[in-house]
Amino acid sequence: MLCDARLGAADPRWLDPAWYGAQARPVDAGGRQSAWFVQGDDWQGVLRGYRRGGLAARVSRNAYLWQGESRTRSFREYRLLAWLRERGLSVPAPLAAAYWHQGLTYRAAILVERIAHVRPLAHLLDEPVWDAAASAIAAMHRLGVWHADLNAYNILLDAQGRAWLIDFDRGTAGGVSPRARRANLLRLRRSLQKVGGAAGLAFWHRLDQAYRACLD
């Protein structure tokens, strides 16, 4: 288990939504029904269990092949978020991460700080927030980070118009090629078009122009 020092002594119950009882509220936007809003004495967080999608989910919803502690999805995401925070990127602070290893498989969960007063990009297609979103994506790419699922629900805008990037599961650091950067943008285009149709596509074209300007 990894945890932020401000939470005190590590407690695996933080990663169990049942421990919070009725205070754990499901996150209803995006995802695979595997995230909850939770809170402690002086913090608010989002608890997410790692879940499979697609055909792999038919075999197991939450078990992953064990390849060593450093390869666990929860530890990799926790460390990537901490690294990004140190470099000033607007991402949620990692609070705790854990894995449960059994035989050839493991399951995992992560707890990150909840960002106050935010709305997903998917709900803001009629507002001129493409510059803020593009700036956040460009800043991530300049740091050499690739986002595995850059979609309209993984970009959040706060009350001050600042864009935040979330859900770095399977994200990587260490360099991102022009082709990989473009793949991130095209993944976002598909997502915006899916949630907003023509309006989503028009929004993406403005965002894409702003993104190119950020990198020039």
Express each pLDDT in 22-47 by its tens digit.
889 998 755 555 899 999 888 999 99
DSSP class of residue 146 equals: B
4, 149, 167, 208: which one is catalytic? 149
At 52, is the pLDDT very low, low, confident or very high (cuts 50, 70, 90)? confident
User: Is the separation of the CB atoms in 165 and 136 below 8 Å?
Assistant: yes
Contacts of residue 144, defined as CB under 8 A and 6 or more positions apart, other chains included, come to 173, 174, 175, 176
Rg (CA), the chain: 17
Tell me, what's the pLDDT at 29? 58
- Over residues 81-100, the mean pLDDT reads 97
Q: What is the residue type of 168? A: F
CATH of 118-215, one of 1.10.287.130, 3.30.565.10, 2.60.200.20, 1.10.510.10: 1.10.510.10
Of all residues in the chain, the percent with pLDDT exceeding 70 is: 94
pLDDT above 50 for 162: yes
CATH of 2-113, one of 3.30.200, 2.120.10, 3.40.50, 3.30.1040: 3.30.200
Domain ranges within the chain, ordered by starting residue:
2-113, 118-215
pLDDT above 80 for 53: no
Q: Count Cα neighbours of 41 within 13 Å in the Cβ-side half-sphere.
A: 3
Say whether 149 is catalytic. Answer: yes
Q: What is the residue type of 190? A: R
Tell me, what's the pLDDT at 216? 82
The lowest-confidence range among 54-63, 178-187, 200-209 is: 54-63
Contacts of residue 97, defined as CB under 8 A and 6 or more positions apart, other chains included, come to 1, 2, 3, 15, 74, 75, 77, 78, 108, 109, 110, 111
- Same fold across 2-113 and 118-215: no
Residue tagged 């390869």 (tokens):
71
Q: What is the residue type of 124? A: L
Tell me, what's the pLDDT at 56? 46
- Over residues 5-13, the mean pLDDT reads 89
